Amino acid sequence: MALVHLLIACTEKPEPTPEPGTGPGTGTEPTPEPVPVNVVIAVTTSDVALSEAFVADLQFEVTPADFEFDYTVGVPECQISLKVVETAEGPCDAAEPVNYKMTQVLKNEEGKYTAKIKDSGKSASYSDKAILSLQYNDNDGKSVTVNSEPFALRMTGTDMISMTFTKEANQTGVFEDFVLDYKDGVFSVKSPLISSSDLVMSYETTGYKVYVNGVEQVSGETVNDFSSPVTYKVVSADGTEKEYVVNVTYSGLPVLFINTPGGAEVPDKHSDWLSGTEIVLYNSDWTVDYEGTTGMRGRGNSTWHYPKKPYAFKLDSKAEILGMPKHKRWVLLANWMDRTLLRNRISFAIAMKTGLAWTPHGEFVEVFLNGEFLGNYYLCEHIKIDKNRVNIDELEDDDVDSGYMFELDSYFDEDYKFRSQYYNMPYMFKDPDEVNEDQFAFMQDYVNNMEASLYINSRFADREYTEYLNVDSFIDWWLVHEITGNAEPKHPKSSYMHRNTGGKLTMGPVWDFDWETFKPHKNYIIKDKMYYGRLFQDAKFRERVKERWSALEAGFREIPAYIESEAARIKSSESMNHEMWPITPEGGQGLVNGDETLTFDDAVQRMIKAYEDKLEWLDQNIANL
């Protein structure tokens, strides 16, 4: 929008009136006052703001201060005038203004003046440059014109023309420039690429002044907190006001950009890794957390067939991600069926309150795949044997008694697997996922002997199973599933065990909590499933369950506050995600958690209530085991 400027033009100075008895023909002509060699006119008001029929003051100075000129506006002898030198269409020859006029000049003190500028009521919008022009005759009688520097002269109103968050003004707050949408008095923007609530707004307005909560705003400079709606008040020169509300939905989460080679589609988990995939992970202040290449493919069984798909990565080299320890293997959990997006994260937090050796860490991120926004994901450590994860010995080629990790899963779809002899459990070698005959036989025999110690009454009575099982890990793992209401072990599915060299079978890590968890219920979920039906027949096992509950309960009761804080942290991200990925029966397995039609806030409160009720129920019932 072009600026407005004022021009001052001066007419010739009138001839002085002769003193009585002097003048032509008297023989005593007056001696004229010498005219200064250099006269300067300087405008001290840089921006003249008008509104309809409004009169604005323009301050200017004339040097030398004792220079005299006629400033009676409206008479032929007036030596000062207002001229336009530029309009919105561009520069122009100094011309008489049409949309406004100078109505009066007042002398304040020697050399200082006030010009009154009034809107003519002929245009609702203009933005010009103008000058003041002063004309006088020098000592030789030659006409001299002196102009001020151009100044802005504009029509003001109450319109907010546009509002923008620029990257230049918000280096750590936005990833790129964002022009806000406008409708019915509300400017709004919703983007995962806005990461902060403290932002600088750049705007175009016809207003004379703009305020937020009584604080005058400067476009491109003033910082405001946009965590809640912000009201901008636009004021015209005559004091007319209009308010505009600004709504900003921002994420504040790290952002992961994924680009597959040539935009190739990501294959499923049974396919080869899609190598050469480029990823860049930004922190919330737009510093780069990680940048590199990776292999990528889908992951999950039923979840791969949902509208929002989960993914797995295999980095070209080990790397620390978002403060999590170095590794090559990472996963992106989609959490499509989870209205809260929190079920896995909260369940992992519960597990971390126990004595389980390792639980996956993760962070919420916004994900873009080949330029398309995919929504909120949980970037999580993949379950692997490693010193930074399941810290047991890594199996070497010639090893037999070494570190092994199993997944018990009814999908039974890995290459190396067996069903146990007494309980028909589906054991799959997960890491390593390939073993030789001796290694396979060693662990199969170990599992079958463990089951025999449970199944055969005499051996069970002697509690021989304690030689094969890490009992506390079985109890802690069971508590996590009971508290959350996770019934996956019923099948079983997503149930992990591991054993280190010379050690015992140990439950964990925990995994997969997005299906039918945190639902209102007051009953045991898996007390009679897997090996637990037999274990709970042992009085000493039941006593140990009571002891573990007593030791862990206080930590479990800290979780509701954590749910509240995490819900607040991802609320804006969740709203964008839910618009993209509504949970519908047609999209997959249907409505399984019972909160799909609730608002996010209501779903979170339901989750907290179900959790607290289950804690109370367990507290009473474990005491009576």
Confirm whether 584 is domain-assigned: yes
Average per-residue pLDDT for the chain = 93
The percent of residues in the chain predicted with pLDDT above 90, rounded, is 89
The answer to whether residues 456 and 582 belong to one domain is yes
Higher pLDDT, 620 or 20: 620
Paired sense of beta strands 241-250 and 186-191, if any: parallel
Secondary structure (DSSP) of 455-473: HSHHHHHTTGGGGTB-HHH
Structural domain harbouring 359: 255-381
Paired sense of beta strands 6-7 and 127-137, if any: parallel
In three-state secondary structure terms, 289 is strand
The answer to whether residues 358 and 496 belong to one domain is no
Rounded CA separation 427/414 (Å): 9
Asked whether 150 and 85 are in contact (CB, 8 A), the reply is: yes
Confirm whether 508 is domain-assigned: yes
Enter the tokens of residue 304: 């791969």
Rounded CA separation 546/540 (Å): 10
Q: Give the pLDDT confidence score for residue 36 in this predicted structure.
A: 73
Rounded CA separation 338/351 (Å): 19
Rounded CA separation 455/452 (Å): 5
Q: How wide is the angle at C-alpha 46 spanned by C-alphas 42 and 47, nearest 5°? A: 140
Confirm whether 602 is domain-assigned: yes
The answer to whether residues 519 and 614 belong to one domain is yes
Summarize pLDDT for 416-449 with one digit per residue, the tens: 999 999 999 999 999 999 999 999 999 999 999 9
Rounded CA separation 321/541 (Å): 40
Neighbours of 384 (CB within 10 A): 17
The total domain count for the chain is: 4
Q: What is the mean pLDDT of residues 105-129?
A: 94
Enter the tokens of residue 49: 């703001």
Q: Give the pLDDT confidence score for residue 52 in this predicted structure.
A: 85
Neighbours of 100 (CB within 10 A): 28
Q: pLDDT band for position 31 (50/70/90)? A: low
Q: Give the pLDDT confidence score for residue 33 in this predicted structure.
A: 63
Q: Is the pLDDT of residue 22 over 70?
A: no
What single letter denotes the amino acid at residue 128?
D
250, 272, 305 - which closes a domain: 250
The answer to whether residues 228 and 197 belong to one domain is yes
Summarize pLDDT for 497-518 with one digit per residue, the tens: 999 999 999 999 999 999 999 9
User: Please, which contacts does 102-111 make with residues 24 or more away whose CB atoms are closer than 8 Å?
Assistant: 102/58, 102/73, 103/55, 103/73, 104/73, 105/71, 105/72, 105/73, 105/80, 107/71, 110/65, 110/66, 111/61, 111/62, 111/63, 111/64, 111/65, 111/66, 111/67
Asked whether 180 and 246 are in contact (CB, 8 A), the reply is: yes
Q: How many Cα atoms occupy the beta-carbon half-sphere of 1 within 13 Å? A: 17
The answer to whether residues 191 and 281 belong to one domain is no
Q: Is the pLDDT of residue 28 over 90?
A: no
Q: Is the pLDDT of residue 34 over 90?
A: no
Q: What is the mean pLDDT of residues 210-239?
A: 97
CA distances from 361 to 324, 330, 380, 383 (A): 7, 10, 6, 10
Secondary structure (DSSP) of 229-278: -EEEEEE-TTS-EEEEEEEEEE--S-EEEEE-GGGPPPP-TTSPPEEEEE
Q: Give the pLDDT confidence score for residue 129 in this predicted structure.
A: 96
Summarize pLDDT for 278-310 with one digit per residue, the tens: 999 999 999 999 999 999 999 988 889 899 999
Asked whether 517 and 593 are in contact (CB, 8 A), the reply is: yes
Q: Give the pLDDT confidence score for residue 14 in this predicted structure.
A: 43
Q: How wide is the angle at C-alpha 161 spanned by C-alphas 155 and 167, nearest 5°? A: 125
CA neighbor of 609 nearest in space, from 563, 541, 551, 547: 563
Q: What is the mean pLDDT of residues 478-494?
A: 97
Q: What is the mean pLDDT of residues 356-370?
A: 98
List, in order, residues 6 or more apart from 400 with CB less than 8 Å away.
438, 439, 442
Q: Give the pLDDT confidence score for residue 29 in this predicted structure.
A: 54
The answer to whether residues 277 and 299 belong to one domain is yes
The answer to whether residues 582 and 507 belong to one domain is yes
Confirm whether 26 is domain-assigned: no
Q: Is the pLDDT of residue 24 over 80?
A: no
Higher pLDDT, 34 or 129: 129
Q: Residue holding tokens 């508290």?
A: 483
Give backbone dihedrals phi and psi of 8, rounded to 5 degrees, phi first: -115, 120
Gap between the terminal Cα atoms of the chain: 78
The answer to whether residues 613 and 483 belong to one domain is yes
CA neighbor of 403 nearest in space, from 372, 366, 430, 369: 430
Q: Give the pLDDT confidence score for residue 300 in this predicted structure.
A: 86
CA distances from 175 to 226, 282, 288, 446, 558 (A): 16, 10, 12, 55, 36
Task: Please list the residues that pair with 407 across neighbouring strands.
Answer: 428, 496
Confirm whether 22 is domain-assigned: no
118, 140, 155 - which closes a domain: 155
Q: Is the pLDDT of residue 404 over 60?
A: yes
113, 137, 155 - which closes a domain: 155
Confirm whether 392 is domain-assigned: no
Confirm whether 23 is domain-assigned: no
The answer to whether residues 47 and 86 belong to one domain is yes
Summarize pLDDT for 548-570 with one digit per residue, the tens: 999 999 999 999 999 999 999 99
The answer to whether residues 294 and 175 belong to one domain is no
The answer to whether residues 235 and 272 belong to one domain is no
Query: What CATH number does the domain containing 121 carry?
Result: 2.60.40
Higher pLDDT, 58 or 54: 58
List, in order, residues 6 or more apart from 445 with CB less than 8 Å away.
none
The answer to whether residues 231 and 291 belong to one domain is no
Confirm whether 25 is domain-assigned: no
Rounded CA separation 589/583 (Å): 10
Q: Is the pLDDT of residue 143 over 80?
A: yes
Q: Residue holding tokens 């690429």?
A: 193
